C-alpha cells in the first residue's frame, strides 16, 4: 500500500452489521493495548478501494453504548491501515424538518457523555488536539454525494447531541437540547469523533434519523421496535452509500491537513515521556514518534 491509497474505515451503527458489497472479504482479529474492539474487522474492496468494516455494537448488537471500547475500536482501525473513517449512526431528530428516514451529514457535536474514556493520551504523555471542527469537510462532501447517489434524502449540516444512555431522553432533556440548538441526538458519536481526531483519521458521520425523540406532543414516544423498523427500511441505502462512496473517491488520496494534527498537539517533552504510555500509543502516534526520532 502506498501513501496515496485510500483505506476507509466504516463503523456501522445500529442495524448495520455487515456490508455485503465487500469483495475479497476477510475477517481478522486485531489486538490492541486498549483491550478488545467490538468485533472482528472485515477487510475487503469496493470499486478498487480498500475498506475496513467494524460493527460498532458487535454482530447481533451485543454491546451497549456506554460499554463500547471506543479506544480499542479506533486503534484497531488505525492498525489495519485506515486513512479515513466514516461513521454510519442511528439518531433521533430534534427538528420538525428532519423526519424519520432522513440522512443527515453531521458537522458539530455537543458531548454530554460522562462514563467513557475520551483520550488515548494521559499522564506521562499529554496531547491536546483541536476539535473546533470535528469532522472532515472534504470527506463529508464525499459522504453527502454518496448518500444522495444511493437514493437517500440528505440534509447537510447538523449539531449532534451525544448522550450517555442507554435510556432515551426525558421530555425535559429533549426540550433542553432543542433550546440549545441541537438537531439530532445519539449515544455513540462521542468520544468516537474525538478519538478519530487524535488518531489522525479524517472523520465523517452519516446519521440516519429513526425517530423524533420525545419532544413532539403528537408523536408516540421513541421505542426500540420503531427504531428497528426505520433502520431496516434504510439499511440498503446505508450500505449503498458505502458503495457510492467507493465509486466517487479519486484514485489517489490527496494529503489532508488532519493527517498531521499531532504535530502541534503533543506537549510533553520527548525526554519526559513515559515509555509505557508511548508504547501503548505505538499505532496512534507511530508517524509523529518516528519523525521525532528521526
For the question of residue 213 being annotated catalytic, the response is yes
Domain 7-293 adopts which CATH fold? Rossmann fold (3.40.50)
Q: What are phi and psi of 60, to 5 degrees?
A: 80, 5
Q: How many helices (H) and strands (E) does the chain have?
A: 7, 11
Give the whole-number percent of the chain exceeding pLDDT 90.
85
Report the relative pairing of strands 84-93 and 7-12 from DSSP bridges. Answer: parallel
pLDDT band at 4 (very low <50, low <70, confident <90, very high): confident
pLDDT of amino acid 233: 72
pLDDT band at 154 (very low <50, low <70, confident <90, very high): very high
Residue with cell 468485533: 39
Residue of 133, 211, 221, 263 marked catalytic:
211
Dist CA 187 CA 160 (whole Å):
10
Residue of 39, 111, 183, 213 marked catalytic:
213
103-148 residue pLDDT tens: 999 999 999 999 999 999 999 999 999 999 999 999 999 999 999 9
Angle between helix axes 224-248 and 137-149 (nearest 10 degrees) is 110
Dist CA 157 CA 107 (whole Å):
5
Dist CA 136 CA 203 (whole Å):
5
Q: What are phi and psi of 171, to 5 degrees?
A: -60, -40
Q: Where are the domains of the chain?
A: 7-293
* Neighbouring C-alpha atoms within 13 Å toward the C-beta of 262: 28
195-233 residue pLDDT tens: 999 999 999 999 999 999 889 887 666 666 666 677 777
Q: Is the pLDDT of residue 13 over 70?
A: yes
Residue that wins the pLDDT comparison between 230 and 98: 98
pLDDT of amino acid 277: 97
Dist CA 213 CA 197 (whole Å):
29
pLDDT of amino acid 112: 98
Looking at every residue in the chain, the average pLDDT score rounds to: 93
For the question of residue 84 being annotated catalytic, the response is no
Amino acid at each position: 500500500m502506498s501513501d496515496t491509497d485510500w483505506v476507509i474505515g466504516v463503523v456501522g451503527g445500529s442495524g448495520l452489521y455487515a456490508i455485503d458489497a465487500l469483495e475479497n472479504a476477510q475477517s481478522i482479529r486485531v489486538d490492541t493495548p486498549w483491550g478488545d474492539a467490538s468485533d472482528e474487522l472485515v477487510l475487503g474492496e469496493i470499486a478498487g478501494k480498500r475498506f475496513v468494516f467494524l460493527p460498532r455494537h458487535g454482530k447481533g448488537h451485543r454491546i451497549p453504548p456506554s460499554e463500547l471500547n471506543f479506544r480499542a475500536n479506533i486503534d484497531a482501525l488505525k492498525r489495519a491501515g485506515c486513512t479515513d473513517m466514516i461513521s454510519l449512526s442511528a439518531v433521533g431528530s430534534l427538528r420538525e424538518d428532519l423526519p424519520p428516514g432522513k440522512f443527515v451529514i453531521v458537522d458539530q457535536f455537543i458531548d454530554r457523555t460522562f462514563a467513557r474514556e475520551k483520550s488515548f493520551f494521559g499522564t506521562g504523555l499529554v496531547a491536546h488536539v483541536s476539535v473546533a471542527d470535528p469532522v472532515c469537510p472534504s470527506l463529508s462532501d464525499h459522504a453527502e454525494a454518496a448518500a444522495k447517489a444511493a437514493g437517500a434524502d440528505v440534509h447537510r449540516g447538523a449539531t449532534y447531541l451525544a448522550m450517555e444512555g442507554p435510556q432515551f431522553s426525558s421530555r425535559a432533556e429533549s426540550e433542553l437540547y432543542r433550546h440549545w440548538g441541537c438537531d439530532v441526538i445519539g449515544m455513540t458519536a462521542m468520544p468516537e469523533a474525538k478519538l478519530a481526531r487524535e488518531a489522525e483519521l479524517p472523520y465523517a458521520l452519516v446519521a440516519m434519523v429513526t425517530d423524533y425523540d420525545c419532544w413532539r406532543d403528537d408523536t408516540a414516544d421513541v421505542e426500540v421496535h420503531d427504531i428497528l423498523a426505520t433502520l431496516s427500511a434504510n439499511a440498503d441505502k446505508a450500505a449503498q452509500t458505502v458503495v457510492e462512496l467507493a465509486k466517487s473517491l479519486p484514485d489517489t488520496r490527496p494529503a489532508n491537513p488532519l493527517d498531521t494534527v499531532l504535530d502541534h498537539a503533543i506537549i510533553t517533552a520527548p525526554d519526559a515521556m513515559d515509555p509505557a504510555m508511548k508504547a501503548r500509543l505505538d499505532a496512534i502516534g507511530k508517524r509523529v514518534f518516528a519523525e521525532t526520532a528521526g
